[in-house]
Amino acid sequence: MERDCFLKRMLQGKELPYLFLIFARRDLYMKNRCFPYMGVNYGEDYGLVPRLLFHAKKIVFLPDVFYSYVYENPQRYCSCWKSSYPEERTRIYEKYELFWEPQYHHDLRLNKIHEKCDFYRMYALSDHPGKEDLIKINSWCPEISFLSLIREARLPYIPLILLAYMRLPGEMSLYASACRDLYRWLIRMKSV
């Protein structure tokens, strides 16, 4: 895949910009002053990896696996809801909008939609979902309307969004639990 195409897909949220998925030379960081944003602990790779790719002259895809990440671990950092996440992500998007040219702003909007859906997922899976956190998620990125969120969301997120919009955290937890059980069952069936 061409660098610009890959970068565009990453900004849209279709490719994940995880730092553990790339190898980059030290001089790419140093020459272009690409460092994680200060004060951002959640999603720091979302603010860093696209900038590294933007400055890279060439991208090479390696077919080998160099890192194994246990995505099902319920204690992983990006599975546990913290009320600071919307503010941290807002800092990244503010910097994004300064860094990226207006031609990428539509792609960033799609990324925000996926991010808001992910906030609902993490909230639904949290041990102690509070109504104040749900209000915080519902009000995050007010430029994204409820209808555009439903229209652009991946299918499993739609019931979560509807339950969140109706402010029904208990039902969100039940739905998320059912999705998690179904996902685990599908993985077991695939391995049989």
User: What pLDDT was estimated at residue 31?
Assistant: 95
User: What pLDDT was estimated at residue 71?
Assistant: 59
Whole-model pTM: value is 0.71
User: What pLDDT was estimated at residue 27?
Assistant: 94
> What percentage of the chain's residues is helix, strand, coil (to nearest 5)?
60, 0, 40
CA–CA gap between residue 101 and residue 89 (Å, rounded): 19
pLDDT tens for each residue of the chain, 192 residues long: 687 888 888 888 888 787 777 888 999 999 999 998 888 888 888 889 889 988 988 888 777 777 766 656 666 666 677 888 888 888 888 888 888 877 788 888 888 888 888 888 777 777 666 778 888 888 888 888 888 888 887 777 777 777 776 766 667 667 667 766 776 776 677 665
Contact indicator for 24, 77 with CB cutoff of 8 Å = no
Token pair, residue 15, equals 């490719």
